[in-house]
Amino acid sequence: MSNGRERNHLIKKPPVYITKNGTGDMVIMSIEEYERQQALIGLYTQ
């Protein structure tokens, strides 16, 4: 993203899904959301 700072408020929550030719390709999310999801995965795998 060339002007990511201006768009930062748009991608805080919820995660932004980017598609390529109509198929999911990437997800952009805040570091807080990423860490929350990683913590949940850690709990589920115990």
How much of the chain exceeds pLDDT 70, in percent?
Answer: 74
Other beta carbons less than 10 A from residue 11's beta carbon: 15
For residue 18, give its domain range: 4-44
Phi/psi-derived region of residue 33, left when phi > 0, alpha when psi is between -120 and 50, beta in every other case = alpha
Task: Summarize the confidence of residues 22-46 as an average pLDDT.
Answer: 94
CB 28 within 8 A of CB 16: yes
35 band by pLDDT with thresholds 50, 70 and 90: very high
More reliable by pLDDT, 39 or 5: 39
Which residue in this structure is represented by tokens 């990683």? 38
The per-residue pLDDT for 10 is 59
Domains identified in the chain, total number? 1
Omega cis (within 30) before 14: yes
